[in-house]
Amino acid sequence: MATSIEEGPEPGWAQRVLIGRNPKRTLVRMVLLVIVSLILFRYVLLPVRVDGASMLPTYKENGVNLVNRLAYLFHEPQRGDVVAVRLLAGAHRMYLKRIVGLPGDTVAFRRGQLLINGLPLAEPYVKFPCDWNQNPVQVGPDQYYLVGDNRDNPWEGHEQGRAPRALILGKVLL
Amino acid sequence: MLLAALAAVGFWAWRTLYPNPERIIKKRLAEMAQTASFSSNQGLAAQAWAASSLAEYFALDVEITLNVPGAQRTFSGRDEVMQVAVTARRICRSLSIRFPDIKVTLSPDKTSAEVSVTGEADVTYASGGKEFHLQELRLRLIKVEREWLIKQVETVKTLS
């Protein structure tokens, strides 16, 4: 007994290039790709564009980067990590800063030198030094002290200080 | 199918006709940002109209407390706020204000609201210099005769 499979006409090359041999399968793949991309770039790797000069020269203005939102799933942020900090109203705008003070630390600046618990901290990433003077500040039990790498501006004009752990969205990937 | 379509249209109509206060406040703040913004090619009449219509967003006894580097002061009353708006138009060539994030917390009686706002501004000064500002703000709005008016504005320091 013989069986025969009836096949439709072979799709043209333009159709094969644009929607593939099997349009239904292509549609399913597209939907899956969109769903995976949405989840990936919303909940795992957040795309960000750097605006401002506070992290120079480590991160240049208008550079694009990714924030790993799962970086602190199994451990807490470390000193030296560059993190994205969300604002209170939402996460469409974030601060990109480096963690220099951990919970319980005291942070101070003396003639531009960063002091952690009274001891100077080596900061090889700082290429534009400053002459900041700041009395010791105690970092709370659920806080981190953040500062930008570019210290080449007045103390008042540089957004820095303590941020609650809950506002730290993740670690900058690249 | 028809029932589902009717339900969807009904839901849309209900939301359009009776928007919740949170949506009204967000829309109103977005409109205010647009009214406060201006460009260099705006005519004198348009500038005067925009400056006067900005007043409609504020309560008569509004209080704005600025605490940012280079400016620590308080503005009280709608007239003083209008004066600031007029001055800004004199010293800036263009100003673009946006509120990318707005978080509204309504009071239990829904007659006032605490609002956290991320504000950002692109400023071009008359001298040609350009600046970008990002600032968190805390606003208090009150409902007066079906209108939400800004009663209080203060700057917030995210990193303390």
Would you state the pLDDT for residue B69? 74
A60 is catalytic: no
Q: Mean pLDDT of all residues in chain A?
A: 89
What integer pLDDT is reported at residue B160 of this predicted model? 84
pLDDT digits (tens, 9 = 90+) for A149-171: 999 888 877 889 999 999 999 99
Of A89, A92, A157, the CB nearest to B116: A89
Query: What pLDDT, in 10s, does the model give residues A71-81?
Result: 999 999 999 99
Q: Report the chain A residue with the minimal C-alpha distance to residue B69.
A: A156
Lookup result for tokens 């706020």: B81
**Shortest distance, CA B44 to any CA of chain A (angstroms):** 33
Distance from CA of B25 to the nearest CA of A (A): 14
Nearest CA to B31 out of B50, B5, B13, B10 is that of B50
Name the band, by pLDDT with cuts 50, 70 and 90, for residue A31: very high
Q: Kindly identify which residue of chain B lies nearest to residue A146, measuring between CA atoms.
A: B159
Who wins on pLDDT, B51 or A6?
Answer: B51
Res. A87: pLDDT tops 70: yes
Region A103-121 average pLDDT: 95
Q: Which of A4, A24, A37, A54 is catalytic?
A: A54
Burial class (CB in 10 A: 0-12, 13-18, 19+), A16: exposed
Lowest mean pLDDT among A19-28, A130-139, B115-124: A19-28
Reply yes or no on whether the pLDDT at B131 is more than 80. Answer: yes
Four-CA torsion A121, A124, A129, A134, nearest 10 degrees? -20
Burial B138-156 (b: 16+ CB within 10 A, else e): bbbbbbeeeebbbbbbebb
Question: Residues A61-88: what's their mean pLDDT?
Answer: 94
Look at A93 and B103 and tell me if their CB atoms are within 8 Å: no
Pick from B25, B159, B160 the residue to mutate for testing the A interface (most A CBs within 10 Å): B159
List the structure tokens of B62. Answer: 């509004």
Q: Is the CB of B156 less than 8 angstroms away from the CB of A88? A: yes
pLDDT band at residue A129, thresholds of 50, 70 and 90?
A: confident
Share of chain A above pLDDT 90, in %: 66
DSSP SS3 for B65: strand
Token digits of residue B52:
């006067």
Residue A147 token pair: 């500062």
**Average pLDDT over chain B, rounded to an integer:** 89
Is A97 a residue of the active site?
yes
* A6-21 mean pLDDT: 73
Contact A88 B116 (CB under 8 A): yes
